[in-house]
Amino acid sequence: MRNSIRGSGLYAGVVVLLAACAGSSAYRAPLLSAAPSTELHSVPSHAGRPSAPDVAAPAPVLGPFWQLVGDSTLSRLVTEALRGGTSVRVAEARLDAARASRRLSGFDFAPTVTAGGSAYRMRQSMAEFPGITSPLPQYDLYDVGFDASWELDLFGRVRRNFNAQSALVTSAEHSLEDVQVSVSAEVARTYFELRGAQRQLAVARRNADVQRKTVTLTEDRLAAGRGTAFDVERARSVLQLTLSAVPTLEAQIAAARYRIASLLGRTPDVIPSELLVDGPLPELPDSVTIGSPRDIVRRRPDVQAAERNLAAQSLSVGVAQAEYLPRFSLAASTGFTANRIQSLTSTGTSRVLVGPVVSFPLLDLGRVRQRVGFAEARADEANAQYTATTLQAVEEAETALVGYRRAHERLAILHEAVSSSVRASELAEQRFEAGLTDFLQVLDAQRTQLEAENQLATAHTAAATSLVALYKAVGGVWPTGDQRSGIRDR
């Protein structure tokens, strides 16, 4: 008797201890740590040329970044991609599944009521009645009724499971936002690359026209006895090198059109009509308001999704640990039982059963232990993934800030280079026509002009795509309002 009392006391102590452990594992979101960015507050001056974009630190007003560049075609393409893109539809379906799973877990708070019926034909064994040699008669048994059970969530298992499912819903919502940001960025990046390739193609064709005139000029001078065959061949060589870039640029333009059509949920042969004609690259802002790295990390949807997934997996550990504890339920059953179906509702055939039910995995603790280990491993994975996502977010933000600033600086330098190369080309032609220099200087000046103009078009495209990278790095939120007037540090 004493041993029994000791065993009961030990079991009760284990139950209390496990209940205390299960109730103390409250989840707390990890603290974000991000060092101040040097790029956020350093605004160098560039005397004699357009300044690089300022990146200031006031809190942003959220809005789509394409409002900043004011391109109606881009806005329409992004809107259509967000509405009909396949990636967005996949993320929306995952969100619907997460919401359905949460609704399913919510039913655990309420009693479970089921209706059932059965019909049996039975014959008892002759072994139960010694001395009887003839088979016993068959008889029927019919049963209909309702069964109900309600788990009393004494240790928070049901509540934790519902909270975990709610966290997964929020994670899916942020994942949808992240997909929307990625799709918007991909459409914008491809659109800018398309416009940049169109501009490079226009530069190549314009320079080819100039170089054709140069070839004609050298041929006329050779025919008049004032030129040389060397000048003619050099002019033709420069023209052919310029024309050699045209097929590559045309292929880039076609590929960009097909990519945008795919992002919009269309087949490659259904290209938006706006993309079939040339368009300008956008004007880039001289000032961009971003904020601190800590704020950037907080508002990125992939970081928020990773944090909510970590919360869900941490709560799932508590759900698994609760399996060590007994479950207390209230059960009820009511119905009718009779040996004839016509007598089911007759007097005396009703049955009622009401009482508490306790279940405990006494001989299944190994299975429970493995479930807890699995849940803890998933939580460790989610924690590592959250840390990796946070570090990647800070890295991308810093890299994008540096990239946009330096791309803008390079663009300003190349603007001056193009202006100088155009003047040099004009002076070389004038000096050649006046007989003050040979034709080699004209060709050299034209090559320099072509290279400068081509680099300017490439740099403008790179600056535009770096703006897209910056938009994606800050999590798809962007300041609205007039950004072109310049926002300084405060």
- What's the domain count of the chain? 1
Are the C-beta atoms of residues 404 and 463 closer than 8 Å to each other? yes
Q: What is the DSSP letter of 188?
A: H
Distance CA 397, CA 297 (A): 8
Instruction: Please report whether residue 280 resides in a domain.
Output: yes
Instruction: Please report whether residue 415 resides in a domain.
Output: yes
In residues, how long is the chain? Answer: 490
- State residue 12's pLDDT score: 46
Q: In whole angstroms, how large is the CA radius of gyration of the chain? A: 38
Low-confidence ranges of the chain (pLDDT < 70): 1-26, 31-65, 123-136, 287-291, 293, 477-490
- State residue 368's pLDDT score: 92
- State residue 26's pLDDT score: 65
Query: To which H or E segment does residue 145 belong?
Result: strand 139-152
Q: Which of 464, 467, 455 is nearest to 420 (CA)?
A: 455
Q: Which residues pair with 354 in a beta bridge?
A: 332
* Tokens at 434, concatenated: 């006046």
Instruction: Please report whether residue 70 resides in a domain.
Output: yes
Domain span holding position 256: 23-110+156-325+366-473
Instruction: Please report whether residue 124 resides in a domain.
Output: no
Instruction: Please report whether residue 419 resides in a domain.
Output: yes
Instruction: Please report whether residue 455 resides in a domain.
Output: yes
Distance CA 270, CA 267 (A): 6
- State residue 291's pLDDT score: 67
Q: Is 20 in a helix, a strand, or coil?
A: helix
Instruction: Please report whether residue 463 resides in a domain.
Output: yes
What residues contact residue 225 under an 8 Å CB cut-off, 6+ apart? none
At 81-127, the pLDDT tens digits run 988 788 999 999 999 999 999 999 999 999 889 998 888 877 666 66
| Surface-to-core class of residue 87, CB atoms within 10 Å of its CB (0-12 exposed, 13-18 middle, 19+ buried) | middle
- State residue 123's pLDDT score: 67
At 312-347, the pLDDT tens digits run 999 999 999 999 999 999 999 988 888 888 777 777
Write the single-letter amino acid at 123. Answer: R
Q: Which of 359, 366, 386, 396 is nearest to 476 (CA)?
A: 396
Write the single-letter amino acid at 109. Answer: F
What residues contact residue 209 under an 8 Å CB cut-off, 6+ apart? none
Query: To which H or E segment does residue 215 belong?
Result: helix 157-223
Are the C-beta atoms of residues 237 and 218 closer than 8 Å to each other? no
CATH of the domain at 189: 1.20.1600.10
What residues contact residue 268 under an 8 Å CB cut-off, 6+ apart? 257, 258, 261, 262
Q: Sign (positive/negative) of CA torsion 262, 268, 269, 272?
A: positive
- Describe the strand order of the beta sheet including 350-359 as a list of residue ranges: 112-122, 139-152, 327-338, 350-359
- State residue 489's pLDDT score: 28
Are the C-beta atoms of residues 225 and 108 closer than 8 Å to each other? no
- State residue 272's pLDDT score: 87
- State residue 293's pLDDT score: 66
- State residue 299's pLDDT score: 82
